[in-house]
Amino acid sequence: MSTINDVSRLAGVSKATVSRVLSGSRGVKEASRLAVLKAAEELNYRPNVIAQSLFSQTTHCIGVICAQENVNQITAWLFALEKQLRQHQKHLLLRFARSKSEILTALDELSCGLCDDVLIIGAHLPLNIDDEHVILVDCAEAEGPNSIQFDHAFAAETACNFLINQGRRQIALIQPENGSTAGQVLDGYKLALENNVLPFNRNLVITDAVSSSVAIQMLLNNASSRIFNALLVANEQEAQRVMTQLQAFNKAVPDDVMVFSLAGSVNLPGLPAIPAIEYSLDALASRIVSWLTATTQQMLGSSVLRGDLIIPDWRQR
């Protein structure tokens, strides 16, 4: 197995220069840098990660705290992040958390020398974290110096406008119980109705159901709401559940009820394709990792991400 001494001899530079090159430090002549990289490649040299960390005072690890309950979204997030981090020779250290205390405990653990920076994803409760090494992504009431939020109001408005243009004017809305984005979604929903000169029917908005299955029953049991011909749900996981429930009540999707997911589309055998809002996680992950790996980190700032409208093939048939 090759050592740093072998690389040093082959490249004709000191061990200190080899360390500086492999740790990404500045102040190395380009000729020396290229010689070290060439020698390391020829010798198939892999530096000791611990030694690198001691020299550069960095761990090359990024902590990720997942507070998101949707398994499909978690998987997509981790895949996009790991792909981008791997391209920059960084590693992902993962923690799962559900409550505020679990999130803060995980943050303390990851911040005590294990990671250079920490991402918190999908925490739907206020955290009040003000730390330049913490990035909040799609978290409730994020007021930290580095945060990225999804524009849920814009998503709901876009969804309603699309459904209305499809001739669906009785649009029901199911929101998760105690969901942190409920207010934003409702604002977008109301704005779309107002702009299309449609009345707001409070009975079509379900916010207090313990599950989407119960929400469907509440809509169908009420004479003033059972006339709905379109349905907005929080994500593709909820969409799968409501479609199964609608089929049990002999409601065909999309003929009788057009289901719309506000975060992620459904692509499963046996279930019809539905329109949805999708967020480019690859682009978002690339932006975050670019910030994390910048030579001089500037504040990411607070920004809002808008999703794309995804229209299934049935619209073209």
Give residue 65's pLDDT: 92
pTM above 0.85, yes or no: no
Structural domain span for residue 218? 152-279
Indicate whether 195 and 80 sit together in one domain: no
Contact of 254 with 272, CB cutoff 8 Å = yes
Give residue 133's pLDDT: 82
Indicate whether 270 and 163 sit together in one domain: yes
Indicate whether 163 and 247 sit together in one domain: yes
Indicate whether 140 and 26 sit together in one domain: no
Q: The tokens of 91 are what?
A: 């590693």
Give residue 201's pLDDT: 94
Distances (CA, A) of 225 to 97, 190, 205, 260: 37, 16, 9, 17
Give residue 158's pLDDT: 97
For residues 58 and 150, give the distance between their C-alpha atoms in angstroms, rounded to a whole number. Answer: 31
Indicate whether 138 and 203 sit together in one domain: no
Phi-psi region of 2 (alpha: psi -120 to 50; beta: other; left: phi over 0): beta
Backbone angles phi, psi at 263, to 5 degrees: -160, 90
Q: The tokens of 254 are what?
A: 């999309």
Indicate whether 23 and 113 sit together in one domain: no
Q: Which of 41, 56, 71 is the last residue of a domain?
A: 56
Residue of 189, 203, 181, 180 lying closest to 159 (CA atoms): 189
pLDDT by residue for the chain (317 residues), tens only, comes to: 678 888 889 989 988 888 777 766 656 788 888 898 888 888 888 665 545 554 445 677 889 999 877 777 788 888 888 888 888 778 888 999 988 899 999 998 888 777 888 989 888 887 888 777 888 888 876 555 678 888 999 999 999 999 999 999 999 999 875 566 788 899 999 999 999 999 999 999 998 888 888 999 999 998 888 899 999 999 888 998 999 999 999 999 999 999 999 988 766 666 778 999 998 888 888 878 777 766 445 555 667 889 999 998 764 44
For residues 200 and 87, give the distance between their C-alpha atoms in angstroms, rounded to a whole number. Answer: 49
Q: Which of 56, 73, 88 is the last residue of a domain?
A: 56
Indicate whether 85 and 104 sit together in one domain: yes
For residues 184 and 303, give the distance between their C-alpha atoms in angstroms, rounded to a whole number. Answer: 16
Q: Quick one: DSSP state of residue 314?
A: G
Give residue 49's pLDDT: 52
Give residue 12's pLDDT: 92
Give residue 316's pLDDT: 47
**What three-state secondary structure class fits 180?**
coil
Note whether residue 313 is domain-resident. Answer: no
Give residue 112's pLDDT: 78
Indicate whether 94 and 178 sit together in one domain: no
Alpha carbon 197 to chain centroid distance? 34
Note whether residue 44 is domain-resident. Answer: yes
Give residue 282's pLDDT: 84
Note whether residue 238 is domain-resident. Answer: yes
Give the position of tokens 């993962």: 94
For residues 215 and 287, give the distance between their C-alpha atoms in angstroms, rounded to a whole number. Answer: 37
Note whether residue 118 is domain-resident. Answer: yes
Indicate whether 172 and 264 sit together in one domain: yes
Indicate whether 83 and 190 sit together in one domain: no
Alpha carbon 123 to chain centroid distance? 11
Note whether residue 314 is domain-resident. Answer: no
Q: What is the CATH number of the domain that holds 27?
A: 1.10.260.40
Please return the burial class of 253, using the count of CB atoms within 10 Å of its CB with bins 0-12, 13-18 and 19+: buried
Residue of 49, 50, 58, 63 lying closest to 110 (CA atoms): 63
Give residue 267's identity as a one-letter amino acid code: N
Count of C-beta atoms within a 10 Å radius of residue 197: 6
Note whether residue 316 is domain-resident. Answer: no
Tally the domains of the chain.
3
Indicate whether 266 and 125 sit together in one domain: no
Indicate whether 74 and 180 sit together in one domain: no
Contact of 95 with 109, CB cutoff 8 Å = yes
Q: What is the CATH number of the domain that holds 291?
A: 3.40.50.2300
Contact of 258 with 229, CB cutoff 8 Å = yes
Note whether residue 95 is domain-resident. Answer: yes
Note whether residue 315 is domain-resident. Answer: no
Q: Which of 18, 36, 56 is the last residue of a domain?
A: 56
